[in-house]
Amino acid sequence: MQIGSVLRTERLGMRFQGPGGEIRLFQDLDLHIDNGETVAILGASGCGKSTLLGLLAGLDTPTEGRVLVGDTDITALDEDARARLRSRHVGFVFQAFHLLSGLTALENILLPLELAGHRDAQRLARDALERVGLANRDRHYPRQLSGGEQQRVAIARAFVTAPRLLLADEPTGNLDRDTGHRISDLLFTLNREQQTTLVLVTHDPELAGRCDRVLHLDGGRLVAA
């Protein structure tokens, strides 16, 4: 999958059974994201941005339509096959960082490498930590790091497996403006260096503005800005 879209959805739709009946988040979403592209998804709170991102990562299965990562239809895969695909091709950055508190910064970064069975895990993890500027904090636990530092570790964790696709859900949402700025700089830098495709959800128009493409999720449809 060198040319064409790295990520594609076909007539993607998602519904939930809520207490007051069916909630239809979106439907018929057709999305093509090219290799190396950076895409921002904006939208009102609760419109389904995180849900969409989760579907793109194969964390959940849609009620309608398909998601294709490269040529693979991940909606046809079972849970474990999707997990395997993620471990090789997809990185994820969360708004709430989600580091494991019992592991040091370095160990948190080692985690996906070990899950994927990498040989050179230690070196790769140290490199990644160095690239996010935290080489000297390798033995610190998450609680000993600031929010921005934690998010940098989380970004290193997402990039360390050199995924083709990086998904970030409000990566700066929990951070102050300056820190947020530095985090997004980091994201874009790594993205450029590693030729990664980046899809991020944000409420921050400025962050969105740095992306190649900005999409609005509105009324269950994706519209280009």
Partner 1 sequence: MSTLRLALRMLLRDWRAGELRLLALALVLSVTAITGVAWLADRVAGATESRASELLGGDRALVSDRPIDEVHALRALEQGLSVSRTLEFASVILVGDRTQLAALKAVGEGYPLRGQLQVGDDPDAKPETATTIPPRGEVWVEPRLLMQLGIAVGDTVELGARQFIVGRVLLLEPDRGRGFQSLAPRVMFNLDDVAATGLVQDASRVTHRLLVAGESPDVEAWQSTVQADRAESVRLESPGEGQPAVQRAMDTAKRFLGLSALLTVVVGGVAMLLTIRRYAARHLDRVAIMRCLGATQAGIAFLFTTKMILLGLATALIGTVLGYLVHLVMLALLADFLPSLPSPGWRPAVTGIGVAQVILLGFALPTVLRLRKVPPLRVLRRDLGGGVLKGVGVYLVALAAIFLLMWWQAGDLRLAVYVFVAVTGTLSLLGLGAALVVGILRRGWRAGGGSGVLVSAIGRRPWTTGVQIVALGLGLMALLLLSLVRDDLLQTWQDGVPDDAANYFLINIQPDEVDDVADMLAEAGVDTEVRPMVRGRLVAIDGNAVDAGAYEDPRARRAVSREFNLSWLERLPADNSVVEGRFWKGGDTVDPQLSIEREFAERIGVALGDTLRFRFGGDYYEAPVTSLREVKWDSFNVNFFVLASPGFLEDAPATYLTSFYLPEDSQVLLPRLVRAFPSVTLIDITSILEAVRSIMDQGVRVVELMALLTLVSGLVVLLAALQVTREERRFESALLRALGGSRGLIRRLALTEFLLLGGAAGVLAGAGAAVAGYWMARSLFDLDYGINPLLPVAGLLAGVLVVTVAGAAATRGLYRVSPMRLLKSSEEG
Ligand X SMILES: Nc1ncnc2c1ncn2[C@@H]1O[C@H](COP(=O)(O)OP(=O)(O)OP(=O)(O)O)[C@@H](O)[C@H]1O
Check residue 97 for interaction with partner 1 (CB under 8 A): yes
- For partner 1, the binding residue among 64, 111, 138, 203 (CB under 8 A) is 111
List the interface residues with partner 1, window 117-146 (CB under 8 A): 117, 121-122, 142-143
- For ligand X, the binding residue among 5, 9, 38, 50 (CB under 6 A) is 50
Check residue 116 for interaction with partner 1 (CB under 8 A): yes
Tokens read off for 192: 């450029």
Minimum CB distance to partner 1 smaller for 112 or for 180: 112
3-class DSSP state for residue 200? strand
Q: How far is the CB of 77 from Mg ion (least distance, A)?
A: 24
Residue nearest to ligand X as judged by C-beta position: 50
CA 174 to chain centre: 16
State how far the Cα of 112 lies from the Cα of 16, in Å rounded to an integer.
31
- Residues with Cβ within 8 Å of residue 69, at least 6 apart in sequence: 6, 7, 58, 85, 89, 90, 165
Q: How far is the CB of 80 from Mg ion (least distance, A)?
A: 26
Q: How far is the CB of 3 from partner 1 (least distance, A)?
A: 26
Neighbours of 118 (CB within 10 A): 17
State how far the Cα of 177 lies from the Cα of 32, in Å rounded to an integer.
31
Check residue 9 for interaction with Mg ion (CB under 5 A): no
Residue range at the interface with partner 1 (CB under 8 A); choices 2-10, 89-97, 177-185, 186-194: 89-97
Are 132 and 183 contacting, i.e. CB atoms less than 8 angstroms apart? no
Q: Which helix (H) or strand (E) holds 159?
A: helix 147-159
The residues binding partner 1 (CB under 8 A) are: 50-51, 53-54, 57, 59-60, 79-80, 83-88, 90, 92, 94-103, 107, 110-112, 114-117, 121-122, 142-143, 157, 161, 169, 174
